[in-house]
């Protein structure tokens, strides 16, 4: 769901009018979503295959760690998507091919989907827009925050495995505070973009009020986190992903 939302959001950035939403556009977006989902399955599968012992300590719910998937089945899934991806290349679209062949992943990877939509779906010359720069910066900040929050519930397992993370180096409290401040910077940039935007009043209000609301929800939710309780810390980490999805919903309105 998150992958589909991310690709769709980035693809909407170069859209200027309602008439840009054509069957060709929607078909092209789906065309980008499918290989990206497969690429994420590949990345998640490789990660879990290499981190089996660590996941048994930190993430006991994952399919390989719990034994729901055997190592053989997990490898078969990874090999299947790895071999399937090259067959999904579309000769007409080298940008999409780059996504597939390079296994693009990460919530900061906005640019290839933007170019895919702008040039190949809308037939417009490639231009770097203010909304593209904003989206790239803000989603990169979200990526940094996600990595920071991700390590907070995993401190015990990471220390046991001698893995250096922001949480093992800074401590849970400081790592949590760092992640929250990074996200607040991102939402502050969103509010500034809304105030300085030359777009319609509706888009300005959605941008300003939307980022203000997300920032307020983040601050309220962060007060209830119990860092001594691993389930509480893990729940907060999963909550952060909901804020990421909320940001993807706001991105097309930032002009």
Rounded to the nearest 10 degrees, what angle do helices 230-250 and 2-12 cross at?
Answer: 30
Alpha-carbon separation of residue 34 from 3, 78, 88 (angstroms): 9, 15, 9
What is residue 104's predicted lDDT score, i.e. its pLDDT? 46
d(CA 118, CA 72) in angstroms, rounded, equals 41
What is the predicted pLDDT for the residue at 202? 93
Helix axis angle for 230-250 and 201-222, nearest 10°, is 180
* Residue 85 and residue 42 in contact, taking contact as beta carbons nearer than 8 Å: yes
Each domain of the chain, given as residue ranges in start order, spans 1-126, 128-255
Neighbours of 125 (CB within 10 A): 6
Cα–Cα distance between 211 and 225 in angstroms, integer?
A: 22
Structure tokens at 112: 């290839």
Confidence (pLDDT) at 108: 46
The pTM of this model reads 0.83
> Looking at residue 77, what is its pLDDT?
92
Residue 188: what pLDDT? 97
Do 81 and 42 meet the contact criterion of CB atoms below 8 Å apart? yes
Domain 128-255, architecture per CATH: Up-down Bundle (1.20)
Residue 107 confidence (pLDDT): 44
Q: Of the candidates 98, 151, 150, 116, which has an alpha carbon nearest to the alpha carbon of residue 15?
A: 116
Give me the average pLDDT of each 10-residue run along the chain (255 residues): 88 92 92 83 87 77 87 92 72 56 52 85 90 92 89 65 64 87 97 92 95 97 88 90 95 93
Give the pLDDT of residue 105.
46
DSSP 23-79: HHHHHHHHHHHHHHHHHHHHHHHHHHHH-HHHHHHH-TTSHHHHTSS-HHHHHHHHH
């Amino acid at each position: 769901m998150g992958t589909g939302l991310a690709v769709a959001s980035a693809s909407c950035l170069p859209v200027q009018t309602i008439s840009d939403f054509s069957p060709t556009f929607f078909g092209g977006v789906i065309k980008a979503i499918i290989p990206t989902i497969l690429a994420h399955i590949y990345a998640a599968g490789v990660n879990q295959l290499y981190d089996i012992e660590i996941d048994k300590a930190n993430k006991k719910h994952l399919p390989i760690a719990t034994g729901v998937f055997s190592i053989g089945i997990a490898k078969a899934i990874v090999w299947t998507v790895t071999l399937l991806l090259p067959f999904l290349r579309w000769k007409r679209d080298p940008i999409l091919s780059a996504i597939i062949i390079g296994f693009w992943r990460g919530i900061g990877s906005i640019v290839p989907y933007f170019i895919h939509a702008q040039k190949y779906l809308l037939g417009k010359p490639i231009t770097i827009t203010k909304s593209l720069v904003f989206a790239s910066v803000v989603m990169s900040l979200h990526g940094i925050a996600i990595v920071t929050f991700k390590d907070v519930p995993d401190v015990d397992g990471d220390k046991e495995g001698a893995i250096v993370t922001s949480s093992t180096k800074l401590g849970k409290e400081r790592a949590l505070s760092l992640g929250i401040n990074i996200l607040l910077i991102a939402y502050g940039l969103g509010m500034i973009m809304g105030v300085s935007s030359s777009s319609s009043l509706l888009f300005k209000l959605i941008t300003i009020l939307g980022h203000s609301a997300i920032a307020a929800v983040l601050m309220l939710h962060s007060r209830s986190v119990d860092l001594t309780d691993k389930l509480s810390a893990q729940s907060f980490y999963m909550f952060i992903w909901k804020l990421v999805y909320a940001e993807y919903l706001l991105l097309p309105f930032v002009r």
